[in-house]
């Protein structure tokens, strides 16, 4: 899974990127350019499985990030390089400035959210109008695509983002290749001053986020960058002095999982114990495809045992004996905590 950090210039994206990925403040990651990085998703279940299988390698699920430089201000839009970098993300994380800028400009996080979302909507409006024009010229006004795009147009012509609209699965698939930006799930991060690091997000941003179909979270990126530089033994005292119970990285990951409706499944063995993220509701072949496209293409069956049953019974043979380890087919919907062994042939 990959998230794109977006927002206006100087809102704190790169500072947050460095804090989340554990890269040094002022270190190798430059400001004002596209940066790529990843964070591991902590999961105690992976540790427990590794203690049983003693694999050569243990791998946690990863959330990947791309940090793109923001436009200077309202109406200036994302540049071509930023748009290319954002074309393949699964969600946007919009960083809005909640602290007074160095030149004294006050924070207006809710307005930044409305303005930035308006840029996304305008981008999509241009795509839809161009396509509708084309379909009209080619006399394709009666087609399903035309009607669907008219519905899309009605929404964004009123300045409403596409994420606030509901789609059938078939419609969603058909719209996927247009590259609409306002359709991406959105997590708003209010980058607040240090004194507000432990406070809930400002109410006006909560209201704005709800109106735009987005989730919201507040944190102080500068403080998080400091926390990331401490060794683990020093962290609890520092967190406590700020009134925090955990680094924002943990809250951020939970919010991102909720936003993307992600669950984790596991693969186990002597070589590797590994956690994989997949969407809630994914059927077994789709989940297998997260591992490798061959596993989706050549999917036959999955051997499934739930983590809780496996831990309670202590071994695969016991789980099989108790009927907890079973064979599932293509229609099986994968659950959070399932241990999967995919059988496939290509
Ligand atoms: N007071 C305060 N300053 C911050 C905070 N986060 C970032 N800054 C400062 O704001 C400035 C911009 O931070 P960046 O992280 O580079 O912002 P950016 O969003 O990546 O900016 P662009 O890449 O230009 O779009 C820097 O001088 C940071 O030190 C914060 O939480 N509090
Ligand atoms: Mg930056």
pLDDT digits (tens, 9 = 90+) for 127-144: 999 999 999 999 888 788
| CA-proximal residue: ligand 1, atom 28 (nearest) | 12
Residue 50 forms part of a structural domain: yes
**Average pLDDT estimate for 112-123:** 94
Residue 296: give its domain's CATH number.
Answer: 3.10.20.30
| CA-proximal residue: ligand 1, atom 5 (nearest) | 222
**Which atom of ligand 1 is least distant from the CA of 100?**
1
**81 lies in the same domain as 137:** yes
Does 239 score more than 60 pLDDT?
yes
Q: From the CA of 327, how far away is ligand 2's center (Å)?
A: 48
- Say how many residues make up the chain: 346
Residue 272 forms part of a structural domain: no
Residue 199: give its domain's CATH number.
Answer: 3.40.50.300
Residue 274 forms part of a structural domain: no
Residue 215 forms part of a structural domain: yes
**145 lies in the same domain as 201:** yes
Q: Please answer whether residues 206 and 214 qualify as being in contact, where contact means their C-beta atoms are separated by less than 8 angstroms.
A: no
Spatial distance between the Cα atoms of 66 and 85, rounded to a whole number of angstroms? 7
Number of domains in the chain: 2
**154 lies in the same domain as 90:** yes
**149 lies in the same domain as 241:** yes
**46 lies in the same domain as 136:** yes
Cβ of 9 below 6 Å from ligand 1: yes
Tell me what pLDDT residue 27 has. Answer: 56
**298 lies in the same domain as 179:** no
Cβ of 4 below 6 Å from ligand 1: no
Cβ of 220 below 6 Å from ligand 1: yes
**90 lies in the same domain as 217:** yes
Q: Which ligand has an atom closest to residue 15 CA? A: 1
Tell me what pLDDT residue 209 has. Answer: 96
**Which atom of ligand 1 is least distant from the CA of 191?**
31
Spatial distance between the Cα atoms of 13 and 65, rounded to a whole number of angstroms? 11
3-class DSSP state of 78 = coil
Residue 264 forms part of a structural domain: no
Q: Please answer whether residues 217 and 190 qualify as being in contact, where contact means their C-beta atoms are separated by less than 8 angstroms.
A: yes
DSSP 151-185: HHHHHHHTT--GGGS---HHHHHHHGGG--STTS-
**332 lies in the same domain as 234:** no
pTM for this one?
0.89
Residue 295 forms part of a structural domain: yes
**198 lies in the same domain as 139:** yes
**286 lies in the same domain as 253:** no
Q: From the CA of 105, how far away is ligand 2's center (Å)?
A: 18
Does 346 score more than 90 pLDDT?
no
Does 25 score more than 70 pLDDT?
no
**91 lies in the same domain as 125:** yes
Percent of the chain residues topping a pLDDT of 90: 71
Spatial distance between the Cα atoms of 62 and 244, rounded to a whole number of angstroms? 24
3-class DSSP state of 140 = coil
Q: How confident is the model at residue 238 (pLDDT cuts 50, 70, 90)?
A: very high
- Domain boundary at 201, 224, 259, which? 259
Look up the domain containing 22 and give its range: 2-259
Tell me what pLDDT residue 34 has. Answer: 86
Tell me what pLDDT residue 334 has. Answer: 98
Residue 275 forms part of a structural domain: no
Tell me what pLDDT residue 157 has. Answer: 95
Residue 267 forms part of a structural domain: no
**Which atom of ligand 1 is least distant from the CA of 220?**
31
Query: Exposed, middle or buried, 205 (CB in 10 Å: 0-12/13-18/19+)?
Result: buried
| CA-proximal residue: ligand 1, atom 13 (nearest) | 12
| CA-proximal residue: ligand 1, atom 9 (nearest) | 12
pLDDT digits (tens, 9 = 90+) for 163-193: 998 888 888 888 888 999 999 999 999 999 9
CB within 8 Å of 337: residues ≥ 6 apart: 45, 263, 264, 265, 266, 306, 307, 308
**189 lies in the same domain as 316:** no
């Amino acid at each position: 899974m990959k998230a794109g950090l977006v927002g206006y210039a100087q809102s704190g994206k790169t500072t947050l990127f460095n804090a989340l990925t554990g890269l040094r403040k002022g270190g190798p990651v430059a400001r004002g350019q596209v940066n790529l990085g990843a964070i591991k998703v902590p999961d105690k279940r992976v540790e427990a499985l590794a203690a049983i299988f003693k694999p050569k390698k243990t791998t946690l699920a990863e959330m990947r990030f791309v940090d793109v430089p923001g436009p200077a201000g309202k109406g200036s839009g994302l540049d071509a390089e930023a748009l290319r970098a954002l074309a393949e993300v699964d969600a946007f994380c919009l960083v809005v400035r909640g602290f007074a800028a160095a030149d004294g400009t006050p924070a207006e996080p809710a307005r930044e959210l409305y303005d930035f979302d308006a840029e996304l909507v305008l981008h999509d409006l241009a795509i839809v109008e161009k396509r509708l024009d084309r379909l009209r010229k080619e006399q394709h006004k009666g087609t399903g695509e035309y009607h669907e795009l008219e519905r899309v147009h009605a929404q964004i012509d009123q300045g409403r983002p596409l994420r606030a609209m509901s789609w059938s699965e078939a419609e969603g698939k058909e719209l996927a290749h247009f590259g609409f930006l306002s359709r991406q799930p959105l997590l708003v991060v209010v980058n607040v001053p240090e004194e507000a690091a432990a406070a809930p997000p400002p109410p006006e941003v909560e209201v704005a986020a709800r109106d735009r179909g987005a989730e919201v979270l507040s944190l102080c990126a500068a403080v998080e960058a400091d926390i990331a530089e401490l060794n683990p033994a020093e962290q609890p005292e520092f967190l406590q002095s700020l009134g925090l119970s955990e680094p924002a990285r943990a809250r951020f990951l939970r919010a991102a999982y909720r936003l993307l409706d992600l669950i984790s499944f596991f693969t186990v063995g002597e070589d590797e114990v590994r956690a994989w993220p997949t969407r809630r509701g994914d059927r077994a072949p789709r989940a297998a495809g997260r591992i490798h496209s061959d596993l989706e293409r050549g999917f036959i069956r999955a051997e499934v045992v739930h983590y809780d049953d496996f831990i309670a019974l202590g071994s695969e043979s016991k789980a099989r004996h108790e009927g907890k380890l079973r064979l599932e087919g293509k229609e099986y919907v994968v659950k959070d905590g399932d241990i999967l062994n995919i059988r496939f042939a290509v």
